[in-house]
Amino acid sequence: MRPHLFVFLVSSFASVVALRAAPLVLHVAPDGQDSSSGRSPSAAFATLERARDEIRSLKTRAGHLPADGVVVELAGGAYLRTASFELTAADSGTAEAPVIYRSASPDQPARLLGGKTVPLSAFRPISNPAVRKRLAPEAAAHVVALKLSDAGLVSVAECPPVFDDAGGLFELFANGDRLPLSRWPNEGFATMKRVLVTGATRTPGIFEYADERPARWTENPHVWLKGQWRVGWEDPAIRVAKIDPAARTITFAAGIQNGIGYKYVTNPDGTRPGNGKEPWHALNLLEEIDRPGEWALDFASGVLFLWPPDGVRELTITQLAAPLISARDVAHVDLVGLDLGYSLGHGLVAENVDSLRFLGSRVHHVAGTAVVLNGRRSVVQSCDLHDLGGGGVLVSGGDSRTLVSSENQIRNNHIHHYGILRAQYSAAVDVGFGGASNHRGRRDAVGVHVSHNRIHDAPRDAILVSGQNHVFEFNEISACGFGSADTGSFYSWLDWTIQGVVIRHNFIYDTVGGVNPDDGATGFHVYGNIFAGPRTGVWIASGPDHVVENNIFIKDEGPVFGLDDRGSSRGYATNKHLIARRDAMKMDTPPWSERFPGLAARLADRPELPLRTRFERNLIVIPKGDPIQNKVSRAHRDNPEILIAADNWVTPTDPGFVNAAAGDFALLPTSEVFRRIPNFRPIPFEKIGLQPDAFRPTVRPRPTFKGTPPPPATQPDQDHNFGT
């Protein structure tokens, strides 16, 4: 594998990217000609495909690439894509002769765009009286219409009866901002008054609504409601079949798995009346366009309705559903300094690749995931991934049965404002978990290294974890999880084969959830992390063999750590999914028996319990409350094998941070913690987060810590150690 760059000072973007002097440079420019030679900026090709095919021809004629590889330099500007830029095995380089596609200048990147620009002048006033009648009074003078076919836009099929993303609907952007699909209410949510029919997968639900507003929608045949109908971590959109204003009821056109109504409130017959708090909102309603920027689509007529934002002359409408770049079976290819955006699909999809590097690039305003990476020895480094309908990076590779490592690396990326269209299981970094498909989409993931990433502003998880032998270190995570329940900065679910996961030296703050191995997930070693803010911490949901040590917890009150034994009442010991995955690994034979000695025996002995959970040598800064919440049932609470808590120190005051008021939680050498916990190891706070390198020459300060810093130490007698 070629050496990975992670240097801190560079003199030339181009020289560092090239790694060596390449004898052949091909040029591409938006105003180029594919009939040109491509050998100089003045004779540039027009398309990436022409440059790619030229490299293929060179290989065919010579039998190999030039000795030092090929660089394709892309002049700055827009490259409008109507199909993926596809790379295959025929486009591979070698370790000695890589193929590099790069922007000629980092200040003027090549922009691969999957949308079409439409001038606002293409929209027309609404003349149809029946349509105007449905508009809100305040909108009637402002809303204009565009027939998609008149603008050369691809019409979209009607959204499915049930969906949890964008439903295949395009998006609109103006001046780089995503325009909101019309909704009611504009902010926040409505709630159900009462569930009348719970429904199920094949039985639509019916509920009574509380507000008068749905009565305005009876003439609209295309109404979808999106909500957390049963639990706080699922929010599907469901098409409405009927609105009855007299009865104040809404009947859905399709059912959803397990039906509607809050999961934890049931009638004696097993149906669910709801708790009156289930949040929902309506989507894509002409009647609810009531502010600048909002829009709706009439599927039957193919007409787009819009209240234009002030000062906007043109819009970008996403059209390309395929990935902007697709790489399959490719080796030794670098993609450097590119800008991918405004697409209905993913940014980059790399499948079964070897030594593919995505460096110093930007992916933004796509409806899917920024980067989907499967392979080995591949890197996503120093990229900015933001304003994403789905997640940031979905990475997999290696072999779980043989424990062959992928050696993939996700490092020094700034990932933020993601999960905009699909919150559930859209993470900044998804390691083998499978994205929105959850365990049904899991792929082998072994030996992935995730480091120095800055992650913030998302409705749900920061990092999803599945697989083996991963290291997550020096990441900073904030402002995630506020749109969901049952979430975590690090989240895994229902899997005993998750082993060898190291979570160290991360800063997790002002977010919902810290480390959450959920529903029996196993194998986390959590040490040297800083958890700060009122809703962070560690929760062990019945999984065995977790170690939580040498961390710092800073909260307004306890607990900072908790565990339960839900696996006992839920029958995890006989769960077919858990057992099938465990048995498929053959843990009693090499390499599993060598890498994880004794694991097979441990997972054959009451694996449904959180046995061998260790909570040791942690610094806990809380002014009140117990540090641990033990929700293990009475039947198992006295079992000494379940929780070993030792050598932890609790203090209500500042134990000696460098500058807690400024969010600097590095410990002074004179900190009291080193006396109270003699073996406590300093946490390298200054190394956490983004670092300057060849592709990120400067780093902005991290988002400010919003929590309450602990007060100065004035009453040391309030401190105490606990644990044996």
Which residues are CB-contacts of 675 (< 8 A; sequence separation ≥ 6)?
A: none
pLDDT of residue 431: 98
Give the domain 183-283 fold: Elongation Factor Tu (Ef-tu); domain 3 (2.40.30)
pLDDT category at 12 given cuts 50, 70, 90 is very low
For the chain, the average pLDDT equals 92
Q: Are 563 and 539 within 8 A, CB to CB?
A: yes
Between residues 504 and 165, which one has the greater pLDDT? 504
Which residues are CB-contacts of 678 (< 8 A; sequence separation ≥ 6)?
A: none
Distance CA 168, CA 581 (A): 33
Distance CA 122, CA 146 (A): 7
Distance CA 175, CA 154 (A): 22
pLDDT of residue 724: 42
Six-digit token string for 6 = 């992670």
Domain ranges of the chain: 116-182+288-317, 183-283
Question: Poorest-confidence range of 250-259, 436-445, 617-626?
Answer: 436-445
Distance CA 421, CA 17 (A): 34
- Say what the alpha-carbon torsion angle 455, 459, 465, 471 is, to the nearest 10 degrees: 10
The single residue listed with the structure tokens 């690396």 is 409
Residue 660 predicted with pLDDT over 70 = yes
Question: Poorest-confidence range of 36-40, 62-66, 349-353, 480-484?
Answer: 480-484
Q: Are 288 and 272 within 8 A, CB to CB?
A: no
pLDDT of residue 719: 60
Neighbours of 31 (CB within 10 A): 8
Distance CA 287, CA 646 (A): 61
Between residues 15 and 295, which one has the greater pLDDT? 295
Burial of 676 (C-beta count, 10 Å sphere; 0-12/13-18/19+): buried
Q: Reduced to 3 states, what is the DSSP secondary structure of residue 312?
A: coil
pLDDT of residue 8: 32
pLDDT of residue 325: 99
Quick: pLDDT tens for 272-282.
999 999 999 99
- CA 443 from chain center: how many Å? 16
Residue 156 predicted with pLDDT over 90 = no
pLDDT of residue 232: 82
Distance CA 520, CA 563 (A): 11
Integer angstrom CA distances of residue 357 from 26, 52, 381: 19, 17, 8
Residue 425 predicted with pLDDT over 50 = yes
Integer angstrom CA distances of residue 243 from 199, 247, 315, 684: 17, 9, 34, 59
pLDDT category at 482 given cuts 50, 70, 90 is confident
The single residue listed with the structure tokens 């103006």 is 174
Q: Whose CA is closest to 492, among 529, 445, 549?
A: 445
Task: State mean pLDDT over 417-429.
Answer: 93
Distance CA 402, CA 589 (A): 10
Task: State mean pLDDT over 185-213.
Answer: 93
Six-digit token string for 480 = 């995630």
Quick: pLDDT tens for 402-413.
999 999 999 999
Between residues 568 and 473, which one has the greater pLDDT? 473
pLDDT of residue 9: 32
Task: State mean pLDDT over 224-248.
Answer: 93
pLDDT category at 5 given cuts 50, 70, 90 is very low
